[in-house]
Chains A and B, each alone.
Chain A
């Protein structure tokens, strides 16, 4: 098969700059073949190489006594005691989901699940953080329907409970939605699998689904801005099959039990190329592949297409040769393809053979080690302007505006479409704070949350970055969990623009400071840049996924508000309204600075909740929407009214950080106040739960009416 000539246009179409191409020439000392050009472009695009972000990612805290494996593998691994570990990661599938929402979102879920079970962990929980354009934008509803159905269609069939997530709407996402998928799995600490190959002349085995032409060049597509031609990029989106993935997981976990697996890597972005290079590079070995042995779904596929295909549900593995038959039997049992497609070699070469023809012969370790790394110029984000006057309004009207907005309305329309209970270990369904699953067969539980407030990050990247971590910390704390570690999914615009790079740098600084102070190291993550359409960037959206441990059932805080409960706010309220939900939803304003995050106060107040959980019946963190929204949500979940003794905008809707709302009986409240005095934690009684009205000082409305609005607004907006 003859390959196209290498031309300037071809190089540009592969997303490689002239400088990058010159670097290729220096490394291989000749003109690359077409297949080799494809391999370089796959390895060096932003999505796979982190070339703009690496410098800054290195500054994040990634270690701690609880961390078994930090960033760099398929997923992070954290010790949860008793020889068990939680394995988790969050990853974006933004560009594909915008082009083809159902398949884009579905394969996003598939990819993250694969990352987890590749390491030997059975997935036990999933979450999704979704950002869409404004509802009125013509494409938004179609995207929401497609993305939600895609997530459900894949996750439900695979059989992992979706226990939480976020859904937000903002015009900045009109041309570029975000789909960030999180998955967590459970592994035994003595049975974890990594990607580094070892041993020479070991068989490289291809497992799972057949290779087709879908997704060729997907990672390169995901590393470019969008313009009007996106429809033409539809063929770069992969197609998912959860049925195959479910079998692939069962077969892979079963195979691992046999002891046959030396190393394993899933085929995600840039498929066969990335996975083979990764295994060879980490093991300090070369790899030779014979492509005619790759199971193929389509006829006459070229070496180029096979190396760049992003067909889903595939794995690459290095196997102990003496256990090949046992391994093959497992895959035959599950009716999956199993093919030896190459072997490890002692020299540092990545050799691609196709029908006895050498299609590529490259220095393997240089493919990743010499990938470009940029210190992009960046410009610090200017300090936000002072907040203009906020007119006083009837506070119940303010609450109504929030709960009728799809941003703050109940998201049952979304969560009902996800199986949140498969595996029968779900302790708390999605909708209110962190999702919780039991560690199967034990009394332990894991709590999961994903958080970010993009408005804050735009106004003040550093405080906004801190806030995302702090909110995750609080959501875990509010259910009684001890936060363990985090994963970051950093979604930004074009890093070649200094102001965008400045947002990125600021957010990383904030995230790093908060993760260090709150002891939640980043153990895995993903960077998604170039989230721009026609030159307009998204709101900077560094999503933080976090995991916490509830060591025994008596530590769980999952009580319901009861009639007569006292409403207490733990933490200091100053009434910060800059960048608040109230401003955005009621006044259509996004001015002022983000709230400041006092990390010492976060830590102290979080520890206070955990230490005094006996006095806490129900608890929620205070985040956007402030006390008014949190009190309403807690009351509404229990079907009981609430009275707050203030009509002050800042008291009710302010978004000061490091705060929790606690509901408990009078005796508990007294005990909590005494403990607070000792611990130096501010606790204020702000009202009580009871009756069937929601009352903010002199303004009130029936709970039933507000509840109806809250529960119907999202479906009405999407209908």
Chain B
């Protein structure tokens, strides 16, 4: 399974995401933001956390105009997988690949701590390993993680079972306690918490490892000749 991790100037969780994918057995390449194409055969694109372009203008706004994001869009339009974590989620909302926006935290301060999440749907390659209703602990680390969407968008997300994760104890004011959402085809996940920071016990928790392992096996299976 081939994963491509985008690297914007200011990305700082690119290596962390690469490590988590590699640990799960993926073949990972790092892709510079000025590139215009993804490596041939890319199965999943990781859009990492950090402060792309210094978060100037709005978090993720400038990255969304980067040369590589055109290739990212083409990839997801072809039905390719993408995982956007933290700043990556912000980028995916700015490109319009996921609905809504991430506003400043309700408490106005940056928050870094492990949080309890509920898996709101098990119906995706990202969440199937947990199953609907499971509880997982991932760390959050953001200043702008307060998920906002119009009431009709929220209703649609719920109706289509596209809310992937919710916060057990909402830390940032997110609408409907939303921590992560799926695209219509369920192959693009954006989430604020960091599964790659909970990928092995020495980090204080390993709930995130299953997401990467699950992705690698689902994608490998789907690619296998029938």
Contacting residues, chain A, for B13 (C-beta < 8 A): 159, 422, 424
**Is A247 positioned at the interface, with any CB of B under 8 Å from its CB?**
yes
**Is A157 positioned at the interface, with any CB of B under 8 Å from its CB?**
yes
Q: Which of B42-59 contact A (CB under 8 A)?
A: 49-51, 53-56
Minimum distance in angstroms from A441 CB to a CB of chain B: 9
Contacting residues, chain B, for A416 (C-beta < 8 A): 109-113
Q: Is the CB of B112 within 8 A of A159?
A: no
Minimum distance in angstroms from B46 CB to a CB of chain A: 13
Q: Is the CB of B112 within 8 A of A418?
A: yes
Q: Is the CB of B112 within 8 A of A420?
A: yes
Q: Is the CB of B141 within 8 A of A243?
A: no
Q: In the complex, which residue of chain A has the Cβ closest to the Cβ of B200? A: A424
Query: B55-92: contact bitstring with A at CB < 8 Å (1 yes, 0 no)?
Result: 11000000000000000000000000000000000000
In the bound complex, CA of A250 to CA of B111 (Å)? 26
**Is B25 positioned at the interface, with any CB of A under 8 Å from its CB?**
no
Contacting residues, chain B, for A415 (C-beta < 8 A): 112
**Is A361 positioned at the interface, with any CB of B under 8 Å from its CB?**
no
**Is B210 positioned at the interface, with any CB of A under 8 Å from its CB?**
no
Q: Is the CB of A424 within 8 A of B199?
A: yes
Contacting residues, chain A, for B56 (C-beta < 8 A): 243
In the bound complex, CA of A250 to CA of B30 (Å)? 14
**Is A302 positioned at the interface, with any CB of B under 8 Å from its CB?**
no
Contacting residues, chain B, for A241 (C-beta < 8 A): 54
Q: Which of A231-247 contact B (CB under 8 A)?
A: 241-244, 246-247
Q: Is the CB of A426 within 8 A of B54?
A: no
Contacting residues, chain A, for B12 (C-beta < 8 A): 157-159, 246, 422-423
**Segment touching A, from B14-22, B120-128, B151-159, B161-169:** B14-22
**Is B2 positioned at the interface, with any CB of A under 8 Å from its CB?**
no
Minimum distance in angstroms from B30 CB to a CB of chain A: 12
**Is B196 positioned at the interface, with any CB of A under 8 Å from its CB?**
yes
In the bound complex, CA of A425 to CA of B204 (Å)? 10
Interface residues on B, range: 20 to 34
Q: Is the CB of A421 within 8 A of B10?
A: no
In the bound complex, CA of A159 to CA of B17 (Å)? 14
**Is A650 positioned at the interface, with any CB of B under 8 Å from its CB?**
no
Minimum distance in angstroms from A104 CB to a CB of chain B: 18
Q: Given A159-B50, A243-B56, A334-B9, are A424 and B203 neighbors across the interface (CB < 8 Å)?
A: yes
In the bound complex, CA of A152 to CA of B112 (Å)? 10
**Is B40 positioned at the interface, with any CB of A under 8 Å from its CB?**
no
Q: Given A416-B111, A417-B112, A427-B203, are A247 and B9 neighbors across the interface (CB < 8 Å)?
A: yes
Q: Which of A155-204 contact B (CB under 8 A)?
A: 156-159
Q: Is the CB of B51 within 8 A of A157?
A: yes
**Is A429 positioned at the interface, with any CB of B under 8 Å from its CB?**
yes
Q: Is the CB of B110 within 8 A of A156?
A: yes
Q: In the complex, which residue of chain A has the Cβ closest to the Cβ of B54? A: A243
Q: Is the CB of B51 within 8 A of A243?
A: yes
Q: Given A421-B139, A424-B19, A424-B196, are A335 and B9 neighbors across the interface (CB < 8 Å)?
A: yes
In the bound complex, CA of A158 to CA of B199 (Å)? 22
In the bound complex, CA of A423 to CA of B9 (Å)? 16
Interface residues on A, range: 35 or more
Secondary structure type dominating chain B contacts? mixed
**Is A290 positioned at the interface, with any CB of B under 8 Å from its CB?**
no
In the bound complex, CA of A152 to CA of B162 (Å)? 33
Q: In the complex, which residue of chain B has the Cβ closest to the Cβ of A418? A: B112
In the bound complex, CA of A438 to CA of B196 (Å)? 15
Q: How many A-B residue pairs have CB under 8 A?
A: 91
**Is A375 positioned at the interface, with any CB of B under 8 Å from its CB?**
no
Q: Which of A404-425 contact B (CB under 8 A)?
A: 412, 415-425
Query: B143-157: contact bitstring with A at CB < 8 Å (1 yes, 0 no)?
Result: 100000000000000
In the bound complex, CA of A579 to CA of B46 (Å)? 54
Q: Is the CB of A419 within 8 A of B141?
A: yes
Contacting residues, chain A, for B202 (C-beta < 8 A): 427, 438, 553
Q: In the complex, which residue of chain A has the Cβ closest to the Cβ of B208? A: A424
Query: A239-262: contact bitstring with B at CB < 8 Å (1 yes, 0 no)?
Result: 001111011001000000000000
Q: Is the CB of B15 within 8 A of A242?
A: no
Contacting residues, chain A, for B34 (C-beta < 8 A): 333
In the bound complex, CA of A418 to CA of B53 (Å)? 20
In the bound complex, CA of A153 to CA of B143 (Å)? 9
In the bound complex, CA of A83 to CA of B5 (Å)? 29
In the bound complex, CA of A423 to CA of B54 (Å)? 18
Contacting residues, chain A, for B55 (C-beta < 8 A): 157, 243
Q: Is the CB of A243 within 8 A of B203?
A: no
Q: Is the CB of B53 within 8 A of A423?
A: no
Query: A428-450: contact bitstring with B at CB < 8 Å (1 yes, 0 no)?
Result: 11000000001000000000000
- Our pick among A149, A157, A334, A426 for the contact of B203 (Cβ within 8 Å) is A426
In the bound complex, CA of A417 to CA of B20 (Å)? 25
Q: Which of B2-41 contact A (CB under 8 A)?
A: 9-10, 12-13, 15-16, 19-20, 34
Contacting residues, chain A, for B19 (C-beta < 8 A): 424
Q: Which of B207-225 contact A (CB under 8 A)?
A: none
Minimum distance in angstroms from B119 CB to a CB of chain A: 21
Q: Is the CB of B141 within 8 A of A156?
A: yes
Q: Which of B178-216 contact A (CB under 8 A)?
A: 194, 196-197, 199, 202-204
Contacting residues, chain B, for A152 (C-beta < 8 A): 110
Contacting residues, chain B, for A419 (C-beta < 8 A): 110, 112, 141
Contacting residues, chain A, for B109 (C-beta < 8 A): 149, 416-417
Contacting residues, chain B, for A244 (C-beta < 8 A): 54
Minimum distance in angstroms from A192 CB to a CB of chain B: 22
In the bound complex, CA of A335 to CA of B66 (Å)? 14
Q: Is the CB of B111 within 8 A of A417?
A: yes
In the bound complex, CA of A427 to CA of B143 (Å)? 23
Contacting residues, chain A, for B20 (C-beta < 8 A): 424
Q: Is the CB of A157 within 8 A of B204?
A: no
Minimum distance in angstroms from B199 CB to a CB of chain A: 7
In the bound complex, CA of A185 to CA of B39 (Å)? 32
Residue of A334, A335, A420, A422 contacting most chain B CB atoms (<10 Å): A422
Q: Is the CB of B204 within 8 A of A246?
A: no
Minimum distance in angstroms from A532 CB to a CB of chain B: 32
Query: A356-384: contact bitstring with B at CB < 8 Å (1 yes, 0 no)?
Result: 00000000000000000000000000000
Q: Is the CB of B111 within 8 A of A247?
A: no
Contacting residues, chain B, for A412 (C-beta < 8 A): 113
**7 A-B pairs in the complex with CB atoms less than 8 angstroms apart:** A159-B13, A159-B50, A242-B51, A243-B10, A412-B113, A416-B111, A426-B204
- Give 4 nearest A-B pairs by CB, closest first: A159-B12, A243-B54, A424-B16, A157-B51
